[in-house]
Amino acid sequence: MSDKRLERALAPFREAAARPYDTVKACKASGRTQVVGCSPMHFPEELIHAAGMLPVVLQETEEPVTEGFAHVHPFFCGITRNAIDLAARGGLDFFDGLIYSDICIQNRNAALSLKHILPKGVRMALAQFPTVLSRDGVFEDTLRELGKVRGFIENLAGRRIEDQALAESIRLFNRNRGLLRRLFDLCRESPGRLSMRDRQIVVRAGMVMPREEYGRLLAGLATELEAVEPMTRSGQPLFLSGHLCQGPKLDIVDLIEGTGVEIVDDDLYTGRRYFALDAETDGPPLEALARRILDRTVPVPTRSDGEMGWAGYLVDRIRQSGARGAILLIAKYCEPHLFVYPFMKAALAEAGIPYLMLETEHEVVSLEGMRTRLQAFVEMLDRKAI
């Protein structure tokens, strides 16, 4: 398969990911649909889609925070400060609705700030799915909250969300997730097939594009990639972990790949985590969405089930991927991630897995310092390999 065909296949994803909100505005301007934003992580976008609207997972844009500082403390994570700043500058006014999930204190406070900042034309809701999973009644409570959210969306759309439409949306999203899994599996076999940068771009594009079009483009890309022969491995194979609900800056992804390592797998929100789980396609669709929200296969530190599952999960994932080590990306001020980091450190040390923790920020500073750390980590691995 020629490089040109791959470049052509990637072009629409790159365009959408480079200008995510322009992509959304273009959709809206063409009269195709209303657009509803949702914050990461657990929100079931299928509900918005089934109402005939475009679900948009909020993206962290590149602008430094300026006016937003009047509404948010500097010690909030990048994606919340960025969203608040955009809102303060009128950058989110094109949304018809915005739904935040109560996953952490920053998200909750962001929702409260946004409610005050955004014009009345942008209707807001806060979805409060249970965060303690090991108690009685958690499924019923999740279903009840989903029902409330469904009501908000129906009100926004001016129509009911029929179960059949919801079931069809679930099947579409499952198909897209399956295609993404296929793409990432192809890259795990041979990381050179698609750079980590492009893998990130493909996932992020799927958070803002009309999902039917996205699915068609994904299928085309998967076909192209399947035709690429596995390439000879070069560089240390590494696992990229972290960033629970925002993608790492592409500069940082480039920096990581620029050290010559091969990212064989990941658990980033804008990576494997996003498409790891499907919703069931039999039975009442709202219940299927509730079960998907509560699925503990991919542990998340914003929820408690009586055990700290992520450390063991991470060790297992790294071993399965064949990586020789891991890079852990922690977004500055992400409290849930920092809570589990000591457990991850201990688990990785016990498993004998070398790792490098990099703290990332919305305002990218000290790329050179990050480059030195990455290069030193690779030198360390290279010498261990001798």
Contact 26, 16 (CB under 8 A): no
User: Which chain residues interact with other proteins by CB under 8 A?
Assistant: 365-366, 368-369, 372-373, 375-376, 379-380, 383-384
Toward other proteins, which CB reaches closer, 171 or 345?
Answer: 345
Toward other proteins, which CB reaches closer, 105 or 349?
Answer: 349
Question: Nearest distance from residue 368's CB to other proteins, in Å?
Answer: 7
Toward other proteins, which CB reaches closer, 29 or 376?
Answer: 376
Question: Nearest distance from residue 228's CB to other proteins, in Å?
Answer: 31
Question: Nearest distance from residue 372's CB to other proteins, in Å?
Answer: 5
Toward other proteins, which CB reaches closer, 252 or 294?
Answer: 252
Question: Nearest distance from residue 242's CB to other proteins, in Å?
Answer: 18
Q: Which residues contact 16 (CB under 8 A, 6 or more apart)?
A: 23, 204, 205, 208, 209
- The pair of structure tokens assigned to 104 is 């952490």
The amino acid sitting at 206 is: G
Toward other proteins, which CB reaches closer, 226 or 379?
Answer: 379
Question: Nearest distance from residue 143's CB to other proteins, in Å?
Answer: 45
Question: Nearest distance from residue 301's CB to other proteins, in Å?
Answer: 21
CA–CA gap between residue 379 and residue 381 (Å, rounded): 5
Contact 99, 36 (CB under 8 A): yes
CA–CA gap between residue 36 and residue 44 (Å, rounded): 12
Toward other proteins, which CB reaches closer, 151 or 342?
Answer: 342
The amino acid sitting at 366 is: S
Task: Sheet with 54-57: list strands edge to edge.
Answer: 54-57, 35-38, 97-101, 123-127
Question: Nearest distance from residue 83's CB to other proteins, in Å?
Answer: 25
Question: Nearest distance from residue 80's CB to other proteins, in Å?
Answer: 21
End-to-end CA distance of the chain: 36
Neighbours of 163 (CB within 10 A): 12
Contact 34, 245 (CB under 8 A): no
- What number of CA atoms fall less than 13 Å from residue 116's CA on the CB side? 10
CA 182 from chain center: how many Å? 17
Identify the residue whose tokens are 């070398």.
354
- The pair of structure tokens assigned to 228 is 């690429």
Question: Nearest distance from residue 385's CB to other proteins, in Å?
Answer: 11
Beta bridge partners of 237: 262
CA 316 vs CA 10, 131, 351: distances in Å: 31, 24, 10
Give, as one character, the DSSP assignment of residue 304.
B
Toward other proteins, which CB reaches closer, 229 or 368?
Answer: 368
Toward other proteins, which CB reaches closer, 320 or 366?
Answer: 366
Q: At what angle do helices 211-226 and 196-205 cross, to 10 degrees?
A: 150
Toward other proteins, which CB reaches closer, 116 or 383?
Answer: 383
